[in-house]
Amino acid sequence: MKIKYYYGILSTILIALLVFSAFTTKSNDEKPEGAKIKFSHKLHSELADCKTCHSPIGDAKSLTERLLPLKEDCKACHDVDDSDACNTCHYEDVYEPLVQKKSELLFNHKLHLTINIECTDCHKGINDFDKISEVPQKNPLMETCYSCHNDKSVASNACESCHISTVNLIPQTHKVVDFKKSHKILANAKNANCIMCHDNNSCESCHVGTSMLKSGVGFEMNMPYSPTSFVDGATQQQITRVHDLNYRFTHGIDLKGKDAECQTCHQIEVFCIDCHNTSSGDISLGGIMPSTHLSPTFVLIGKGSGGGEHARLARRDLERCISCHETRNSDPVCITCHTDILK
């Protein structure tokens, strides 16, 4: 009896898997809009406005209502009863209905149209393309919504005004592994849009006034809340020196091996140029030079010279050299004399 019981359970599970597989396969085989119907927004925009084809839009108060064109809309211009003209709009032997995708947003088309907002104000550039598949961004970007929903105009900037659920509401750019290290670079970009979701309070949870303290040698050497200390659940402020006082002489080694960590606080293209400025285009040729390089015997050429002071320093502490110089046969300073390494 037990064996029959187990066989019954196993059979039920297998049937369920087969049914699930059938539905999944059907969903995966569904063609995208661009493979179902031939439609040029660019051509139609010259003949009619958006609401002529998307007739349900005018009364739609949510994204769950029908928003795509109806066959009756096409009938106004096309003879939809002529079976010989089907290929005008449909691909050969493809007569699948347009399926509206489920949205997780709250949006009232009727309301936006009554306040004189044009369709192309939100769906920017959609009329510039001949094929649906060519449209890179069919739905508006959040930046477009923010032009009105910014708490500076009549529209609210509250997340729940547009989003059905705010759980895990995180932009794709924030989902990279090293986002905490690289977010400064994104925030400093010309097209940064952090303000859409964040205000000063968001930043001050980590970035407080102590982060602006200077060590006096041109490096930002103080970091707040490190190591982290908590008292009654509140983060207590501690100022910790990030780099030692000698760091200006050895920082090049860390830069070579931990470039991403430096960019957590410093934008290399801007920060480094304060010291490493050169008119020749190459730091190792015309940038800042250590005091050891100023000795008249730093480089000696000739049989028995031993190469001078630079050779002795390189043998003693090569890591200091690689702070600035490339050791893989490509540094313009080294190969000027050490031509044999290219052979």
When pLDDT is averaged across residues 113-119 and rounded to a whole number, the result is 89
Domains in the chain, number: 4
Q: Is there a contact between 144 and 125 (Cβ–Cβ < 8 Å)? A: no
The pLDDT assigned to 222 comes to 44
Judgement on whether residues 192 and 78 belong to the same structural domain of the protein: no
Domain boundary among 269, 297, 332: 269
pLDDT at 108 over 70: yes
Percent of all residues in the chain with a pLDDT value above 90, rounded to a whole number: 6
Q: Is there a contact between 128 and 45 (Cβ–Cβ < 8 Å)? A: no
Nearest to 242 by CA among 234, 253, 251: 251
pLDDT tens track for 277-318: 655 555 555 556 677 787 888 888 877 788 889 888 888 877
pLDDT at 3 over 90: no
Q: Residue 231: beta bridge partners? A: 234
Residue 24 within any structural domain of the chain: yes
What does DSSP say about strands 239-241 and 222-224: parallel, antiparallel, or unpaired? antiparallel
Domain residue limits at 15:
1-30
Judgement on whether residues 42 and 102 belong to the same structural domain of the protein: yes
Judgement on whether residues 122 and 71 belong to the same structural domain of the protein: yes
Whole-model pTM: value is 0.53
The pLDDT assigned to 213 comes to 42
Judgement on whether residues 151 and 182 belong to the same structural domain of the protein: no
The pLDDT assigned to 34 comes to 67
pLDDT at 110 over 90: yes
Residue 274 within any structural domain of the chain: no
pLDDT tens track for 19-56: 666 555 444 456 666 678 888 888 888 888 888 889 88
Percent of all residues in the chain with a pLDDT value above 70, rounded to a whole number: 66
Q: Is there a contact between 262 and 280 (Cβ–Cβ < 8 Å)? A: no
Domain boundary among 111, 142, 169: 169
